[in-house]
């Protein structure tokens, strides 16, 4: 794996010099227990988008960690609105990252999981039609799928009238998908937090002010504050910060000794 844009650890124990991909992988790791990690990028003043899209806030360092987190997970969860708006394609990994997973007894690709109450989904979107692993759609008992959706994805109904996220997460774990990465959007993050299901937040802070207008990384109904200790701070060029907050043990399980999925 290439080193890419220099990223250094500045807290808790500063590390002089650029971290390699294996070193970054060890810093994030896989938990020894079922774990839900959320990954977001925001501006310094808290905006979740720039000109309507998260891509305007991201850069090479963020994309590098983004790719490593995908490599580490069993399931990649995203809300249907984010899937549509951000134009998600099939979840694929480089040959090197696929080899890394095979060497550790993991499936070659993580499973895409889409959360949708309305099932307003296009089966022809590449995220479904070109997926290397059959995606899962978490929905509720009353939702009616569009023609063709069940041809390209497994529908899992969790709860009457609205998606029961706790039940959906339990079903993923029943299928052996213990290490879950959520990429948003804000309403899904807010709902997961309200249900007290979030174990970790990885947040990249872009060094810019977006100004008024864009929303925050979390949205929806109010929920109690939840303590999430800071575990590390990484820094990259031009003042980009990558923060990792997690409850539980201070350090992840070394990625090289991750249990098989």
Domain CATH number, residue 105: 3.40.430.10
- Tens-place pLDDT, residues 93-146: 999 999 999 999 999 999 999 999 999 999 999 999 999 999 999 999 999 999
Report yes or no on 241 lying in a domain.
Answer: yes
Averaged pLDDT score across all residues of the chain: 93
Report yes or no on 231 lying in a domain.
Answer: yes
Report yes or no on 24 lying in a domain.
Answer: no
The residue written with tokens 């609205």 in the block is 162
Report yes or no on 36 lying in a domain.
Answer: no
Where in the sequence is the domain holding 74, given as residue range(s)?
Answer: 59-257
Per-residue pLDDT for 74 more than 70?
yes
Per-residue pLDDT for 3 more than 60?
no
For 23-49, b where at least 16 C-beta lie within 10 A, e where not — what string?
ebbbbbbbbeeebbbbbbbbbeeebbb
Domain count of the chain?
1
Confidence (pTM): 0.92
pLDDT recorded at residue 98: 98
Report yes or no on 105 lying in a domain.
Answer: yes
């Amino acid at each position: 794996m290439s080193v890419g844009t220099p990223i250094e650890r500045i807290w808790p124990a500063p590390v002089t010099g650029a971290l390699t991909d294996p070193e970054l992988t060890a810093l994030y790791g896989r938990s020894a227990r079922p774990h839900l990690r959320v990954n977001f990028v925001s501006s310094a003043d808290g905006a979740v988008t720039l000109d309507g899209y998260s891509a305007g806030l991201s850069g090479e360092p963020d994309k590098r960690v983004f790719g490593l987190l995908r490599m580490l997970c069993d399931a990649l969860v995203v809300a249907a609105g984010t899937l549509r708006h951000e134009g998600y394609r099939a979840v694929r990994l480089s040959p090197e990252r696929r080899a890394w997973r095979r060497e550790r007894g993991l499936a070659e690709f993580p499973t895409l999981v889409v959360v949708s109450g309305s099932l307003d989904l296009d089966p022809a979107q590449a995220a479904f039609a070109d997926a290397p692993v059959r995606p899962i759609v978490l929905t509720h008992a009353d939702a009616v799928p569009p023609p063709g959706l069940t041809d390209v994805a497994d529908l899992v109904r969790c709860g009457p009238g609205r998606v029961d996220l706790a039940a959906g997460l339990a079903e993923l774990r029943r299928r052996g998908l213990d290490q879950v990465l959520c990429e948003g959007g804000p309403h899904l993050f807010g709902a997961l937090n309200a249900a007290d299901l979030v174990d970790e937040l990885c947040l990249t802070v872009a060094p810019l002010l977006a100004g008024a207008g864009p929303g925050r990384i979390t949205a929806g109904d109010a929920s109690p504050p939840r303590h999430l200790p800071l575990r590390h701070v990484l820094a990259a060029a031009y003042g980009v910060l990558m923060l990792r907050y997690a409850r539980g043990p201070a350090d992840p399980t070394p990625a090289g000794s991750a249990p098989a999925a």
